[in-house]
Amino acid sequence: MIKSTPYVLVLLLAVLLSGCGEFYKLEKSTNWDELYEAANRYYDQGDYNKSIILYDRVLPVIKGSGKAELAEFNYAYAHFRTKRYIESAGYFKTFFDTYNRSPMAEEALFMHAYSLYLDSPDYNLDQRSSREAVNSIQLFMNRYPESDSYERAISMIDDLQKRFEEKAFEESKMYYRLTEGLFPGEFYRACIINFQNFAKSYPDSDYNEELAFKLVEVSAAYAERSVFDKKEERLKQSIEFAQDFSQKYPESSFVKKVENIKSKTTTELESHYRLKEQYEARSAEARKLREEEERNQAATEALRNTEN
């Protein structure tokens, strides 16, 4: 048995060389029927790279003929099977646009969307291609609402929406971290806008409770560091955020912290009112003195004009 091993290897090598020789001849062939049959055969055997090479040669020749439909469909799938998802998405879409009445049109449109879905990146990367995938899936669902693949399409959209949510949450945390820097002013404002937009975009997100707490926290810090003219407005806003939080999440583990922030902010607002009252009183007194001085100057000027 051991002695027969070299002969087995030689036989396998001969078979491989024979296969390579056959494919090499096909690459050089101009017999389009032979190329078409060989491309389909390699595809059926799962040798997708060879089938792609042969389809590349034969497709321009058979375009518009009865053979083209199956060849173009297999060509798109061959790219999909070799995980060339961007290419397969394009070829499936081209197939659908060309053969939209074909029995394979529904599958082609789904595979266009599915290819884009598989190519979409993780949540921490740029999600523009994921949004393109969502649009393509939605197109399929609108076109084929009774499709057997409809539920699968919904699950794909749900998964992509989750990635968008994770991406948005990571961006929110990034803004929050930036408020710990030396110049946090603009980042406080960016946080407030970002947290509010997140809640609007993802009203059912599990992250809303945490971000609602951070909204109270950040808005209080922003108000505390604000210039006098903006302080009252921002302190009131922070108190409103705290009240909204308590109403929405009465059982939250953040409630005590929120109440402490609200209490501190309310005290600061009351202090601000006293300062504002004192400031307005001093301003009124200064205005009164200035007006009296202006009247005295006017009277003195009038007396000089009379004397002259």
Quick: pLDDT tens for 36-90.
Answer: 999 999 999 999 999 999 999 999 999 988 899 999 999 999 999 999 999 999 9
| Domain range annotation of the chain | 1-82, 83-164, 179-308
Q: Residue 182 — very low, low, confident or very high, per pLDDT cuts 50/70/90?
A: low
Q: What is the largest CA-CA distance in the chain?
A: 141
**DSSP H helical segments within the chain, as ranges?**
5-28, 32-44, 48-62, 68-81, 85-98, 105-119, 128-143, 150-178, 185-201, 208-224, 228-248, 255-307
Are 62 and 32 contacting, i.e. CB atoms less than 8 angstroms apart? yes
For residues 265 and 262, give the distance between their C-alpha atoms in angstroms, rounded to a whole number: 5
Judged by phi (left if over 0) then psi (alpha if -120 to 50, else beta), residue 92 lies in: alpha
Quick: pLDDT tens for 108-126.
Answer: 999 999 999 999 877 656 6
Amino acid in the structure at residue 161: Q
Backbone torsions φ then ψ of 47, nearest 5 degrees: -95, 75
For residues 115 and 120, give the distance between their C-alpha atoms in angstroms, rounded to a whole number: 9
% of the chain surpassing 90 pLDDT: 63
179-308 fold: 1.25.40
Tokens of 122: 């993780």
